[in-house]
Amino acid sequence: MTPLKSGTVDLVILSALHEQPRYGLELADHIGTRSGGLFELSEGSLYPALLRLSKAGLIEGEWQPTPGGGSPRKVYRLTDSGGQELARRRAEWERLQVAVNALLLRRGVRA
């Protein structure tokens, strides 16, 4: 597995939480599975990113009981501001893809 680059960590977290609320390790597993095992979020990069996104008001966490009576888990969900930020970052990502593909495939970018 490959660690995600810092600029994409927030984007993939916001995108995964747009689908549904998730707790930390569930989120990391989802990203790893969805990427076909290509991306890995270690706890050392996941939890600081969740804290950063939470402080920015893009996500919020709530402690919920664990099925089967285990320790409670903090489940994160996207806020309205987070949804708006996700839309902005997706559009930025799409523009970047077009520009990089134009360079790699030697085609011009149409504005």
Query: What is the tens place of the pLDDT at every residue in 71-91?
Result: 899 999 999 999 999 999 999
**Contact of 47 with 28, CB cutoff 8 Å:** no
Residue 13 is predicted with a pLDDT of: 96
Which residue segment(s) compose the domain that 96 sits in?
Answer: 2-104
Q: What is the pLDDT of residue 2?
A: 54
Residue 109 covered by a domain = no
Number of domains in the chain: 1
Per-residue pLDDT of the chain (111 residues; tens, 9 = 90+): 555 566 689 999 999 999 999 999 999 999 999 999 888 888 898 999 999 999 999 999 999 998 888 889 999 999 999 999 999 999 999 998 898 888 888 766 665
> In this structure, is residue 37 part of a structural domain?
yes
* Radius of gyration of the CA atoms of the chain, in A: 16
The Cα 14–Cα 82 span in angstroms is: 7
51 within domain boundaries: yes
pLDDT score recorded for residue 75: 97
Q: How far apart are CA 31 and CA 12, in angstroms?
A: 7
Whole-prediction pTM value?
0.85
Per-residue confidence (pLDDT) for residue 72, from 0 to 100: 93
Is-contact 85 13, C-beta < 8 A?
Answer: no
Question: Quick one: pLDDT at residue 1?
Answer: 52
Helices 6-19 & 80-104 angle (0-180, nearest 10): 130
CATH number at residue 65: 1.10.10.10
In a domain, 71, yes or no: yes
